[in-house]
Structure 1
């Protein structure tokens, strides 16, 4: 299985020293798992996993790491310099909308100044050739439009999380123009959709909340069942990140820009549709709306990923139904069989990508 996954992306990442911030988180741990299978030497910088269980611990990912806060500029710079990576993926963040209302200062500190600290460390580390900063689909000034946002649309954000991530995009642009392009360090940002998949136990996210409600035998409390989001599997977002990183490592400076990695239009669904889909796997699932929540959230959000489709040959591999099925299967295997099937799902995903003829997957055998 490991040899099979190694062939994906050819040998682009094999033997490369890759720094991954936020590697103990949901997406970060899946990316660490994938990079290890691609033969990369992965070094992680993160806070300890803040959920129990955690996908990072369950997956037993073998990588060297340092547990530190990216707000600690001096220590972060020292660790980056000591590891001397060629490629950096920056995922460390405060990623929750509701928590950003409760902890706005920490959210801004982590998401904005944490990114500044990381890019400062990169520009003072001569080994770094490329950096991919992960932001979010929520960086756009949401005006409620039904057509998907494109990379050139205005940035914005109402809540502290969204606004801080939009500010993070400005940090990326500033560092690219002011420092990194003069040092031949290629920098890109990646904006994915609402990512779901096995191994997420964060608070105030739909699928983890579904799992908790089913495990506890209680109704799920839903804030906005009519809210529309671009749902996609975690592996779809990560394949986009890897695609752009592969281009940057090949020195393609035209790719040092912002990229949307969202799902196909059929996967842009409201929350109620997702819940009915999950109810197929957990018939006991029930829910009720919470009308008391004071938190303001956008009711409609869609992404346009034509740029990645046309210039990178990237598109989502798993449609909405396959994404829901694979997400449910992961949790069922974990709770019923005590099995972690992340690697098996990675192999299945890559096989499906090749069968669909996607250019980034054609080296996969």
Structure 2
């Protein structure tokens, strides 16, 4: 059976979660708190209205912190006194990175360096996991699943900033963290879908917005395939990885792991859109956007074999089920249901899910 986060490990543990107001961060914070973790957040206010963070927690009670501001980060880290750190704060949108490359590098690379420097002052630190992306690789686009030892690259500013982040983490690990006996690793997750994402230029939020507005959704590259997975897959894997890192005082674990769907699954953007629309009870209406678009790789596939071999982790939901769970979440939101209760129910259902 695939391992799941262990409540006994997290109960009462001080966890610093950066990016806790974002889509994935909100799911991670909710799961950690169900297990009794003492979660401190470090993030900017939610970018979107609605926002999953607000739905789950109400108005923000913690002051916003920009991960690029060294003094503010140092104060937040000192106040949190974390034992475990999950770094998810990022500029995570590819198309925005074309518009704002400097801001993307400042957040994704500079913000990571700022955080890692501040964490060097924390006593009793047990493990740090930095979330990067499946797009850190120099992807030739031929469809071969990319492995952790493949060359890093990045044709767009977002991907390059995350690849640069990997190099920065490696340098901090060898220079500071490994000599201090503190595990520091990165996780590279595939494309994530799930309830509560309202970001710009992502297929599921775009589908939801187009359906609400009664207009066709714009799909830039309908035949492109991606390693789709439900948000609970990588979040659960991050927590399992952190547990293992905290116990790995001899440095035997890999320092980077891919997290992705089963290798025999493939789903194009258009197929995902069709299934989502079907589960939402409305036929799909779509069109291609006018004008030139920033380039995207037609195929991206990652090999998640190493995390299966080392941690026994494997996905619990198929790609089709990930779409179904996502569509069910948005349908419930549209009906005005209690989204905190439904989100926690999906976490519980996921944990009960057999392989």
TM-score bracket, shorter-length normalisation:
over 0.9
Moved more, 78-87 or 233-242: 78-87
Deviation at 1:66, TM superposition (A): 3.5
Say whether the 8 Å CA contact 1:213–1:285 is kept in structure 2.
no
Which whole-Å CA distance do the structure 2 matches of 1:54 and 1:293 have between them?
A: 30
Say whether the 8 Å CA contact 1:227–1:300 is kept in structure 2.
yes
Give the direction of change, closer, same or farther, for the CA distance of 1:86–1:256 in structure 2 (3 Å limit): farther
Q: How does 1:327-342 map to 2 (within 5 A)?
A: 327-340=326-339, 341-342=342-343
SS at match of 1:133: strand
Runs of 4+ in 1 over 6 A off after TM superposition: 61-64
Which whole-Å CA distance do the structure 2 matches of 1:34 and 1:212 have between them?
A: 27
Which whole-Å CA distance do the structure 1 matches of 2:60 and 2:306 have between them?
A: 33
Say whether the 8 Å CA contact 2:54–2:60 is kept in structure 1.
no
Q: 5+ unaligned residues in a row in structure 2: which ranges?
A: none
TM-score (norm 1): 0.92
Q: 5+ unaligned residues in a row in structure 1: which ranges?
A: 1-6, 357-365
Indicate the residue corresponding to 1:271 in structure 2.
Answer: 269
Moved more, 29-38 or 286-295: 286-295
Q: How does 1:1-365 map to 2 (within 5 A)?
A: 9-60=6-57, 65-252=62-249, 253-255=251-253, 257-282=255-280, 283-340=282-339, 341-352=342-353, 355-356=354-355
Say whether the 8 Å CA contact 1:226–1:299 is kept in structure 2.
yes
Deviation at 1:125, TM superposition (A): 1.4
Say whether the 8 Å CA contact 1:41–1:63 is kept in structure 2.
no
Which whole-Å CA distance do the structure 1 matches of 2:254 and 2:75 have between them?
A: 26
What value does the CA root-mean-square deviation take over the aligned residues?
A: 1.6
TM-score (norm 2): 0.95
Tell me the alpha carbon deviations over residues 92-148 of structure 1, each in whole angstroms, 9 at most, x when there is no partner: 000000000111110000000000000001112123221000001100001013221
Tell me the alpha carbon deviations over residues 49-83 of structure 1, each in whole angstroms, 9 at most, x when there is no partner: 00000001101279973411011012201210121
Which whole-Å CA distance do the structure 2 matches of 1:54 and 1:78 have between them?
A: 26
Say whether the 8 Å CA contact 1:13–1:39 is kept in structure 2.
yes
Give the direction of change, closer, same or farther, for the CA distance of 1:64–1:38 in structure 2 (3 Å limit): farther
